[in-house]
Amino acid sequence: MKKFKIKKMRALNRSYGGDVGINVFLLIVGAFMALPFVYAICSALKPLDELWYFPPRFFVENPTLKNFTELFRLMSTSWVPFSRYIFNTVFISVVGTGGHVLVASLAAYALSKMKFPGRNFMFKAVEYSLMYNAVAAGIAIFIILSALGWIDTYLAIIIPTLAGSLGLFLMKQFMDSNVPDQILEAAHIDGAGEFRIWWQIAMPLVKPAWLTLIILMFQSLWQTGASIYIQSEELKTFSYAISQVLAGGIVRTGAASASTVIMMSVPILVFVLSQSNVIETMATSGMKD
C-alpha cells in the first residue's frame, strides 16, 4: 500500500506533458533573450550595403569578416599600440575585480560574524549608500584622488572600485544565512585564527556570492570607457579606443558592429560560465529587515 501511494504521489506531482510544456516555454524565452546578441553577430557579419537596407533585415545574406579586419586596421593606425588598450582594460578589470572581492569579503565577514560596537550602524550606512549614484559623489572623489596624487594613474579607477557597497551588501547577507556560527565556534576552539577561518571556512561556503560579485564587477570594469581621472592616451581602455576610432561617421558602421560583438562577448562568456551561482546568490542574499 505504501508503494502504491508513493507512486501515485509522484504521478500527481510530475507529468510528462508538464515537463515538456515547461521546457518549451523556457526554450522560447531563452531564444527571445538571445535575439539581441544574435542580431549583433549578424550585423557584424554583414557587408556595408546590407547594413543600410530599409527595412532592415535580421539575418545576414552574404556573411563576411571584412568588418573585423577593418576594425583592426583602424586600431592599428593609432599611435598607441592596440595591445596597450587591451592590456589596460584587462589589468583594470582583473585587479579591480579581485581587489573588490577581497575587500568586500573581509568587511562582510567582520560585519556578519564579529561582535564590535557600531556594527549595525556601519551596515545601515552601507545599505543607505546603495541609494546614491556614484556620479553624485564624482566631485568629492576627484578632489580626494587629486590630493592623493592618483589622477592619471590606474589607481584612480581601481581604488574607488574597491569601496563599492553592493559587493559588501551581497557578501554580508550571504554570510548571515550560509555560514553557521557553530562551525566558526568549533574552529576557534581548535585554535584557528580569524583569517584562516575566513579563507578556509567562510569563503568556500559563500562561493556563489563571490562568483556573482566577480561577474558584476568584471562586466562593469570591462566596459569602462573615457574617465575624467585618466588623461594619458597610454592609460586609456579598449572601450574608449574603439569609441574614438568609430567617431569617423557612417562609413565605419561595419567596424562599429564588429566592435559591439567584441565588447559583448567577454562579459557574456563570464556570465554563462557562472550563471547558476548568480541565481543562487540572488535567491539567498535579499533584504531581511
pLDDT tens-digit map of 80-125 = 787 888 898 889 999 999 999 999 999 999 998 888 888 889 888 8
Residues 23 and 34: beta-carbon distance below 8 Å: no
pLDDT surpassing 80 at residue 237:
yes
Burial class (CB in 10 A: 0-12, 13-18, 19+), 206: buried
What's the pLDDT tens digit per position in 10-56? 444 557 777 788 888 888 988 888 888 888 888 888 887 888 888 88
Asked whether the predicted pLDDT for residue 284 surpasses 60, the reply is no
Q: With the C-alpha atoms ordered 233, 237, 243, 245, is the resulting torsion angle positive or negative?
A: positive
218 vs 281: which has the higher pLDDT: 218
Q: Which pLDDT band, with edges at 50, 70 and 90, does 6 fall under?
A: very low
Q: What is the pLDDT of residue 100?
A: 93
What pLDDT score was predicted for residue 95? 93
Q: Taking the domains of the chain in order of start, what are their residue ranges?
A: 2-64, 73-284
Q: What is the phi/psi pair of residue 182, to 5°? A: -65, -40
- At 49 the pLDDT is 81
| CA-CA-CA-CA dihedral for 136, 138, 143, 146, to nearest 10 | 170
Q: What is the pLDDT of residue 276?
A: 63
Answer for the pair 60, 122: CB distance below 8 angstroms, yes or no.
no
Given this model, what pLDDT does residue 166 score?
A: 85
Using the predicted structure, report yes or no on whether residue 188 has a pLDDT greater than 70: yes
More confident call, 225 vs 264:
264
CB contact set of 41 (below 8 Å; sequence gap of 6+): 261
Mean pLDDT of the residues in the chain: 81
pLDDT band at 248 (very low <50, low <70, confident <90, very high): low
Residue 204 grid cell: 568556500
Rounded to an integer, the average pLDDT of 225-254 is: 77
Please report the pLDDT score of residue 5 as a whole number.
46
Mean per-residue pLDDT, 250-278: 77
* Mean pLDDT of the region 168-187: 88
Name the architecture of domain 73-284.
Orthogonal Bundle (1.10)
Quick check: 272 and 211 in contact, CB under 8 A? no
Q: What is the pTM of this model?
A: 0.76
As a whole number of angstroms, the distance between CA 134 and CA 163 comes to 11
